[in-house]
Amino acid sequence: MNSSTYQPMNRPSRDADLARMVREALEQDFRFTVSTIEVAAKDGVVTLTGLVPDPAARASAIAIAERTRGVARVVDRIRVRPFVPRFDADVTADVVTAIVLDTAANPAKIDVETVDGVVYLRGTVPNPTIRQMVTSIARSVEGVKDVIDDLDVVVAVPHPDSEIAQAIEARWHATLRPEIADRVRVSVHDGVARIGGEVDTTATRWAIEDLARWVPGVLDVVDEMRGPED
């Protein structure tokens, strides 16, 4: 390579693009229509600041930023609106809600109990990654003093392709705005999900792909969507 003609990548421009993609990914999620989250990026590290209405929204914002392509690390400076002292039953309810909204784990197989602010997680999850995510989400809930992880990792048996496709569509409709979820479709063969339809932004494309990858039984995702990268 001729060193005299080599031009290094513009770091400020790349950071600005990364921050923009995280913002776009957050905007696709209907849970943030009334929340204000500021996004800054430097050298692949994304910092989130702002105020959200509940711990589940905070955990969701962090998870969305973490799965955005190019993000090396997320610095969480999001604040949750102050709560009055919390009852254990309320903490348990919020932990369960956060798990249902933010992970691919089957909430029916996870038991949550709170005693004096300490959350006990029992049950099974399909892999170590989801186990770590469930624990992290529980810790982010307001009023949680500590989390005791008694979860077991149990590899799930293969799922029928039709069941996987239904689960992917359900996850899209539970997480994405209706006008986005209604424009994509999926077919599954031998655990491989093929996604078609139209998308408007790269961030939307990645969000759709990543949500599909988290569904139990998915072995791979093939992107056949039409959009900005075509």
Query: From the CB of residue 110, how many other CB atoms can be counted at a distance below 10 Å?
Result: 22
Residue 3: the pLDDT is 43
Q: What is the mean pLDDT of the chain?
A: 84
Structure confidence by residue, pLDDT tens digits, 150-175: 998 876 667 899 999 999 999 999 98
Domain boundaries, the chain: 11-80, 88-153, 161-226
Please name the residue that has the structure tokens 């962090």. 62
Question: Edge-to-edge strand order for the sheet containing 45-52?
Answer: 36-42, 45-52, 73-80
Cα angle 87, 92, 93; round to 5: 100
Summarize the confidence of residues 198-214 as an average pLDDT.
Answer: 88
**Residue 52: which pLDDT band, with cuts at 50, 70 and 90?**
confident
Residue-wise pLDDT tens digits, 13-26: 788 999 999 998 88
**For residue 2, what pLDDT is reported?**
42
Nearest to 62 by CA among 26, 92, 99, 89: 26
Secondary structure of 73-129 in the HEC alphabet? EEEEEEEECCCCCCCHHHHHHHHHHHHHHHCCCCHHHEEEEEECCEEEEEEEECCHH
The pLDDT assigned to 109 comes to: 79
Task: Reply yes or no on domain 88-153 having CATH 3.30.1340.
Answer: yes
For the 161-226 domain, the top CATH level (class) is alpha beta
User: Is the pLDDT score of 46 beyond 90?
Assistant: yes
pLDDT above 90: residue 75: yes
Mean pLDDT of 168-193: 92
Mean pLDDT (whole number) for 54-69: 86
What's the mean pLDDT in 170-183? 92
Q: Are 205 and 229 spatial neighbours (Cβ–Cβ below 8 Å)? A: yes
pTM: 0.44
Torsion over CA: 31, 224, 105, 169 (sign): positive
Nearest to 153 by CA among 100, 212, 110: 110
pLDDT for 8 beyond 80:
no
Instruction: Give me the pLDDT at residue 22, please.
Output: 92
Evaluate whether the domain defined by 11-80 bears CATH number 3.30.1340.30: yes
pLDDT of 39: 92
- pLDDT digit string, tens, across residues 130-142: 888 898 888 888 8
Give the span between the Cα atoms of 203 and 24, in whole angstroms.
6
Q: At 156, phi and psi to the nearest 5?
A: -75, 150
203 vs 121: which has the higher pLDDT: 121
Same fold, 11-80 and 88-153: yes
